[in-house]
Amino acid sequence: MYFDRFDIVEAHYAHAVDYHDGQTSDLYVKQCRISRYFKPGGMWKGYDSLSDNGKEIYDALVALHRRQQANIDRRRNFYYNLQTL
């Protein structure tokens, strides 16, 4: 992975589009902010349009997102189990 601003912006935008949880989510806000200056054309196909570097950045974002979701799920289960005692 190397530093390329376009790859970074494109990967973050694709990730936000694919993983946001609706208009109240942080990723949707991120998508809207990026769309102020990044306007993908009609030929843009999300992940498939990313360069190899962009795909690597996207994959890292997905891995981070999954770890964060797993932590949230663990906390929810913990608090649920406390309430059912």
- pLDDT, tens digit (0-9, with 9 covering 90-100), for 2-61: 788 999 999 999 999 999 989 998 999 999 999 999 999 999 999 999 999 999 999 999
Q: The whole model's pTM is what? A: 0.80
The whole-number pLDDT of residue 79 equals 63
Mean pLDDT of 61-83: 78
The whole-number pLDDT of residue 28 equals 94
Environment class of 53 (CB within 10 Å of its CB; exposed 0-12, middle 13-18, buried 19+): middle
